[in-house]
Structure 1
Amino acid sequence: MPSSESYSTQGKKKSGAEGKQQDHYALLGLSHLRYLATEEQIRKSYRETALKHHPDKQAALLLAEETETAKQAKKDEIENHFKAIQEAYEMLIDPARRRIYDSTDEFDDEIPTDCAPRDFFKVFGPVFMRNGRWSVNQPIPSLGDESTALKEVDSFYNFWYSFKSWREFPNEDEFDLEQAESRDHKRWMERQNAKLTEKARKEDYARIRALVDNAYKRDPRIQKRREEEKAEKQRKKEAKYLAKKLQEEEAIRIAEEQRCQKEEEERRAAEAALHQKKTREKEKKLLRKERTRFRTLSGPVLSQHLLDVTKDDVESLCLSLEIEQLRNLCEKIEAKEGLEKAKLLKEALGCNHNLKEDQKQDKTPKENGSVAVNGSVILSGSEKKEKPWGREEIEMLRKGVQKYPKGTSRRWDVISEYIGTGRSVEDILKATKTVLLQKPDNAKAFDSFLEKRKPAQSIAAPLTTRKETEGVSTSNGLDGNDAKTANAKESSSQGSNPKKLDDVIGDDGASLSSDQDVWSAVQERALVQALKTFPKETSQRWERVAAAIPGKNVNQCKKKFALLKENFRNKKNVV
């Protein structure tokens, strides 16, 4: 199989004068239209040209030639020209072949790079129109002028930035597929031609993009909009800065006003306090003056002891009466003499006493425990106290709440009827938030546990003494006669030594009491567990501990606990 290197020089199209193609538009008389010529114009021009240059119509030219050689040459020229017309028509009437031909037609690919602002439309307008012939989308938008709306300008540049070209890019170095030697050779040619075409297409798109970028950069309408946007942005920035500055100034002004207002209020408050102080001092001074005046006017009455008016009565009036009352009383007393002054003082004392009695009666407690204040009755705490909830009511309430859950129609009325003690809905709602949330009393819980607890069997584990063990073993080891002899000796010894018998009885009693202090392993474990269950802060601790240990009382439990503690300390000291 031949390599790709052997294909590189085979099957290339001819270049130069031999490969130069004819001008099909010129043959059909469409040089002035070229790629703008329509299909109808091509057909019409072909019919006219073919009729004009048909060989049958050119017979007169053959007769004009003198020699046969000249006639044959002229005939060949006429036939070749007619064939060229037919080839031009076949090329231009086929859209695919015409596109390839138009792509190879002469075209100015140059793009302007710079121009004066006033010449922008003259320089770039024709270039866009010239390159618009390659656009797939027709018609192409116009560049416009300075008066064109910005919306149309944006539409124009959007069209060219998304430009799609139908232009073909035949290359002189591409391969002619008809000259392929084999199928592999043909595929290799197609790949090479595709690479050349893709390269040329990318270069053309880059050229169009450079044209659009140059135009967009120098378009006076775009520049004007940029300047306006920049000015608008600067204006917004300055407005924002001014607004912020005004806001800060306003905040400073408000703070200053608040400070001044606060200072003014403090100043007014100080002036008012000073004025009140001066007024109080003035009133006190006037009150002292009136009291002194009243005491002076009451002096003759006190010195003469008229109507039992005492100095304490005068002082009481001085302390209880206001300044206006004292002034009026002094003016009345000044107009009187002797006994009439005493009557006025006595009358003033009576009025003052009645006023105090009325004030006391306003706050006198009623018989039912309520207090009257300014004519209104305030109920005592006993009347406001609610009826306490019993244990049975609480249990019924708890069961009712569980039996009638949320969503039950008229739930709390139903629960009230379920309890059946006449409790109102308000009492039940309050109880659900207070009584039901209370934790049960540990002491009562333990008492109920003791009541329900089954009595445990007492553990009887008396320890036998050494003497009893020896006696039992001796009696078991003797026969009947020996047992009788031993019993007789024992009875005789008991009769002869009554004192020793008492000692034995005393020892037995001691051993009996010591038997009660004996603790089994089960009882010790029960004691340790009870001490853990009922810590120091538990109320009635030792009673509960003793109740948890069968066959033991409180004192025995305390003694055993003290003994265990002492043994533990001794072991710790030894270690």
Structure 2
Amino acid sequence: MVPQRCIRLISYSQEIVDGGPIYISSNSLPVKAFKLEPAGHAFHSAALRLLGCCEEGDADGDDETVPNDKEHTYVPSTGSYSTKGKKKSGAEGKQQDHYALLGLSHLRYLATEEQIRKSYRETALKHHPDKQAALLLAEETEAAKQAKKDEIENHFKAIQEAYEVLIDPLRRRIYDSTDEFDDEIPADCVPLRISSRFLFQLLQGTGGVSKAGENSHMQMNFDLEQAESRDHKRWMERQNAKLTALARKEEESARIQEKRGQVSLAKKVQEEEAARIAEEQRCQKEEEERRAAEAALHQKKTREKEKKLLRKERTRLRMLSASVLSRNLLDITEEDVENLCMSLEIERLRNLCEKMEAKEGVEQAKLLKEALGCNHNLEDQTQDKNPKANGFVQVNGSDLLSSSCEKKEKPWGREEIELLRKGMQKYPKGTSRRWEVISEYIGTGRPVEEILKATKTVLLQKPDSAKVFDSFLEKRKPSQSIASPLTTRENSDQDVWSAVQERALVQALKTFPKETSQRWERVAAAVPGKTVNQCKKKFALLKENFRNKKNVFNRLNSGLRDGVQWARVGRKDICHRN
């Protein structure tokens, strides 16, 4: 039973107001704040200390004391906490530092498998019992030699055990998890400092981390070192193989689903991007069309406004010059006034009208005369600067047409029309750069505009029946007149074949059958004095002669057969008559 502590107030203090009590201390026990929470044996010891069943020194001391009879009721049996696993190596049950034994304490969890193997080879060669024989000779007594020998063997066994633990990824991960963790908040990002606390390596890709964690958890369910017998170990291996195969299958299916999701997502993003680009292009095109329409409308309004102002100023000039025309001052005619109205710009018209409004009579006529003179001078200067304005130009003493005449379309000839029609049939619709190709096909340097215009005008015209015969005469080739004197053929007997040439032809035809490449060239080479055409003609002639002879022979045979048959019939008839 836990003793209860309480404090009784013996007398009242002067500080008490209205008879209220003052609490000096609470009846709750103080709780120690530990950095780590106790578990297992430490939890039971902490609970016993809080209940007052054991002293602080007894629980924390190194020397174990035998509990009394009362304490037996509170201390559980140590046998129930025994484990089936291997005991910790090292003196007094303390776990050894495997990295320090292999000389990798500076790397620890960062050491690679190749570094572990290399360090184990070096350490094993250095601390092998056969290499430490010199240390045994240094000892004097047999007991010291035996103790030294045991120490060397235990150290070598510890090295082997450290290598077995660190070379196995799962056992090494479990061992690394027992290292103290630096839980201080770092000033900078130090990922390597906390990388040893992960139970698995981060996998590349989305969703691979959780799946790897599930697989490693499934594989850790059956530890082969906890097997009680060989059969139990084999059963564990089979179960682990099944779990591994199942985990791989699930991981593969998850990877396939992830790839499919990525592909569908990429297609979706690509479609959205294409739609966005198309929408932007459409909006941009609409904006350009809108701006072009606005600019055209603005220009149209400006031109209309200018025309309206120009008509107003022309009407104003006509009204001001009416009095001058009625009096016929300075021989100014109505035609001169119209010439000024049509040739002067709006600013000059406005200035002239303003000046005429301030004058009267002869002064107005003088202003009109000056305007006419200035207008003629400007026209003369323009003609001097542009000598082609009159329509003709003098080049090398001959008059040529001006640029306006040069730009006049050249009429289409009949040959060009035929070539255009053939080109349109040869290069149908859909041909890349069709009209440029047709222009090159015609070959007369016609531009594309003229060709397009000709397809709508020239090709649609019906041919004139009166000019059909003229075109026939043009197309007809004139007979060539031979001006040279008559000559005789020297080789008029080239078609004459000798018996030697015929035999050579027959032999060549047998030597070179129909399947031979370039047969007639070889046959002509084998026949002396004959060409390929002559050999072909002779072969056709021989073939025809052979057929004729064969027909004659067949007719003769049929006649003979008929004659013999009638002779037999006659003999039979004579016998019957007799």
TM-score by length of 1: 0.29
**More helix by proportion, 1 or 2?**
1
Q: What is the TM-score with the length of structure 2 in the denominator? A: 0.29
More contact order relative to length (CA 8 Å, sep ≥ 6) = 1
Choose 1 or 2 for highest CA Rg: 1
